[in-house]
Every structure is written in C-alpha cells, then in structure tokens.
Amino acid sequence: MAVTLEIDHAKARAKAAAAAGLPVVPQAVQGPIRRNKWGILLLTLSIYYVTPFIRWDRGPNAPDQAVLLDFANGRLYAFFVEIWPQDLYLVTGLLVLASTILILTNALAGRLWCGFACPQTVWTDLFLLVERLTEGDRRQRLRNIGVPLTPKRAVRIVAKHATWLLISLATGGTLIFYFTDAPGLLRGLGAGNFSATALTWIAVFTGTTYGLAGFAREQVCTFMCPWPRLQGAIWDPEAYTVNYRDYRGEQRTSAKKAAELRLRGEAAGDCVDCGQCVAVCPIGIDIREGPNFACINCGLCVDACDGVMAKLGRPRGLIDYESWANIERGRSKESLRNRLLRPKTVGLAAACLALAGTIGVAFAMRTTATLSVQHDRDPVAVRLSDGSLRNAYTVKLLNKSASPHRYTLSVGGIDARLSIVGGDGVAPIKVAAESSESLRVTLTAADAEQKDVVFIARDETGSTLYATDRFVER
C-alpha cells in the first residue's frame, strides 16, 4: 500500500497564519506523553550542562576533562576514549552508525527523535514553558496579540526575554566549555579574563539559541531541517507514528448530537471537532487531515485527545501511535496487525549491530603508536657513481601514549643499507609523549631490483611497528 505524505495543508496553514500575523501558539497539555517529554527534557539538559564539568583522570600531562574537543592539539576525549586525527575513521563509523539508528527509529516509530530529544524541540519546549509562566497560557497570549501594551504586560515581556537570554547565554557558554577546560574558562569569565574568540563564539551560540528556540520554533522543523524532506523517501506505513483513527472518529459531530444519533441507532463518530489536537500541536498542523511531513511525532495531540475522550466517557486512542497500514486496515474492517518485526527493521537492526561490532573491534585493535612511510617522488631513484641505486623516504613515527619511547629502525625484504639523513647512523629515534617525529631515510642497494620493502620500528619494550613501501629502479 502506498501513500503520499501531505505537505499542502501544512504550507497553507503556515502561509495563512503568517498572513494573519498569528504565530503558532501551542496550548499546554497534561498526560503521560507530556510527562515523558518533561523527563527527557530534564535528562538531556542535565547531560548537556553538566558533562563539561565531569573530571576523568588520564594521568600526568593529560587533560582531566571527561569530554573535551581539543581541536588545538588535535584530540577528541570522551571518558576513556581518546581520538587522534589518525583515528577519525572511528568518528566516521560512529556517524554512520548514528544515521543507521536514526533510520531504524524512523522505520519503527517515525520522527521519534524529532519529537522528544532533538535540541530544537528540547529548547523550544523550555522557552515555551518560560513564555507560559510569564505571559500566560495560549488563550491569554492570543488575546494579547494586537492589543495596546500595558505596563504590566511590558514587565512580563521583559521578564520573558531576559529569561530567554539567560538560558541562551548558559547554552552558548556551555557549548564553548566542550572545547576548553570548563572550570578554568568559567573562572576566567567570572573574573573578566577571557579571549575575544571565546566571547565571539559565546555570542554567536547565544544568539542562535535565542533566535531558533524563541522565534523560529516550528519553522526550523518544517522548513529549515532537512530530515522532513527525507520522510518521503524513507517513510514507512508500518511505522508507529501519530495518526488519527478516522474510521472511528468520522463523521465529526458534537457530543450532544452524537448522543442523539446513537439513540436513534444511527452512526456517529467519536471526534467532537473540539480542535484540541491542533491547539496543542507545536507545529500547528491538524493530524486529522492525514500523514504530514511536518509532524514531529511528539504525541502531545494524543494526550489532548485522550483527555477529551476521558471526559466524554469514550475509549482513548482516537489519535494514537498507530501505523498507517493499520489505519487502512481499520477502514476495511480488517484485523489490526503489529509488524514492527519485518525484513526492513530486522535488516536495519542487524546493520546497526554489525556497525557497532566493527567499530568496537577497530577501537580495541588500534595501537598507541603508528609508523608511516612515504616514498620521495622527485626523483624516485638515484643511480650513484658506483652503480648502486638509492631510494629516499620520509618516515613518520607517531607516539600516542603518555610516555616517551625510543625506536630502532630497520628494513626487511631487501638487501639495502639504511641511513638516516642528518642523523647519527641508525641510532634510536626518540619520540616524546603524545607527539610525532618525521625523518628522511635512504636505502642504498647494490642490486637494482624493484621489490617491496618493509620498514620495522622496535621500541624498548619490544613492541614492533611495520610499514610497507616500494624500492624502485627508476
């Protein structure tokens, strides 16, 4: 079965609201989904604001911040994980894994990430809470649109924007803490001792948070975020997304008229067209009009509708997390089916496990030292006066450990004399802790034979590194 995600009514509603000068003003709602969203909001914000201040002992001469993006020194730290530029393939793998998990989540429950844990959703919810506490709930805020400004209302507006700016400042400042020592920068900010660069980035991120969460809000989710555009390609009718059970709700009529119709034995839908599902929607759409690319699957309309159904003594679930395939089965009077386990989701889950396993193995097998060799290109080989052939190479030793090492360099696979240019023969090469050493070496062979050559570096502990290159004739 196929269905096209509807976008026209979302665009029309946005244009009509903009033309009338009416912003989307969602109404507060209570219910289990709203409580879950508050819990996730508290959890995610706590993680974001607290993480830079968590300490992690990595030994002497190493930063003790648990999560640190130390771009100046080319390091990414996350608790016991330390990523060097040479390990960026692990970061790439994690990004691919995260994308695959997001696609799997979409196949199971649509835009669940968008509705519950996306930073735009979390901070918008927080800003809306501040707005309700300072200016009142939806009715009051709608009444205030276009009316003369009073001193009392001016104070409320100033309090709202001041709180928004404080939250934005805390958000922008915390983001900077991930790139430097958080306690040190915080003390510097308190003492007025900070760099212009840090101040600039704090101002940029503060303004971004203030603008996106305070004003753009649903426009970010509907028009700026690329994820809704992908919905048309990966939307799955078997995914449990927020949907309206129209086979139960139609025809819409008032509760009084529905009771009269039922007394006469005539059919009446459960939907009383109260509009609560639209009023609480942070995007401002009407889920009863069908699947919508703008819906972030937050489920607040489910709480609103369930509350109305409870007051009317009718079963909950008129709007619910339900697959579109089951909606169509309900229309046809077929039995509903749960198809969360299907080839697509099983395959995506297997892909996630395979990617996670591969990344884990790659992380476990990575070493604290690497050896790389690059052959000189101009010239690639030199014929000496005695008839022997010389090739030159740049050898790089990287020591990622917290202690210095001494390496002895040798070659295998070829009968050639190794010399370090500008060095003392082949004396041990000293590589300081968390640093690298580059040196030029030459191989001189009496027999001009083209073959592979293996460079071998052994440290004082007996650990051996290998790198293969080519000895060429010309």
The answer to whether residue 76 sits within a structural domain is yes
Q: What is the pLDDT of residue 12?
A: 53
Considering only CA atoms, give the Rg of the chain: 32
Q: Does position 20 have pLDDT exceeding 70, yes or no? A: no
Q: Enumerate the β-bridge partners of residue 62.
A: none
Q: Does position 1 have pLDDT exceeding 60, yes or no? A: no
User: Cα–Cα distance between 470 and 374 in angstroms, integer?
Assistant: 10
Q: Are residues 193 and 238 in the same domain?
A: no
The answer to whether residue 351 sits within a structural domain is no
Q: Does position 166 have pLDDT exceeding 90, yes or no? A: yes
Boundary of a domain, candidates 175, 198, 229: 229
Tokens of 71: 């771009």
Domain extent at residue 46: 8-229
CB 448 within 8 A of CB 473: yes
DSSP per-residue letters across 97-164 = HHHHHHHHHHHHHSSHHHHHT-HHHHHHHHHHHHHHHHH-SHHHHHHHTTSPPPHHHHHHHHHHHHHH
| pLDDT tens sequence across 44-56 | 999 999 999 999 9
How much is the mean pLDDT over the chain?
89
User: Cα–Cα distance between 178 and 172 in angstroms, integer?
Assistant: 11
To which residue do tokens 């290998």 refer? 466
**This prediction's pTM:** 0.85
Q: Are residues 68 and 159 in the same domain?
A: yes
Quote the number of domains for the chain: 3
| pLDDT tens sequence across 170-199 | 999 999 999 999 999 889 888 888 888 889
| pLDDT tens sequence across 256-269 | 888 888 888 888 88
Q: Are residues 199 and 312 in the same domain?
A: no
Q: Are residues 294 and 182 in the same domain?
A: no
User: Cα–Cα distance between 292 and 8 in angstroms, integer?
Assistant: 9
| pLDDT tens sequence across 435-473 | 889 999 999 998 777 889 999 999 888 889 999 999 988
The answer to whether residue 211 sits within a structural domain is yes
User: Cα–Cα distance between 270 and 288 in angstroms, integer?
Assistant: 13
Boundary of a domain, candidates 307, 331, 355: 331
Q: Are residues 109 and 212 in the same domain?
A: yes
Q: Are residues 282 and 393 in the same domain?
A: no
pLDDT band at 425, cuts 50/70/90?
low
Q: Are residues 259 and 219 in the same domain?
A: no
The answer to whether residue 363 sits within a structural domain is no
Q: Are residues 29 and 131 in the same domain?
A: yes
Q: Does position 11 have pLDDT exceeding 60, yes or no? A: no
Select the highest-mean-pLDDT range: 72-86, 129-143, 366-380. Answer: 129-143
Q: Are residues 411 and 322 in the same domain?
A: no
| pLDDT tens sequence across 300-335 | 999 999 999 999 999 999 999 999 999 999 999 999
How far is CA 344 from each of CA 85, 338, 350, rounded to the nearest angstrom?
35, 14, 10
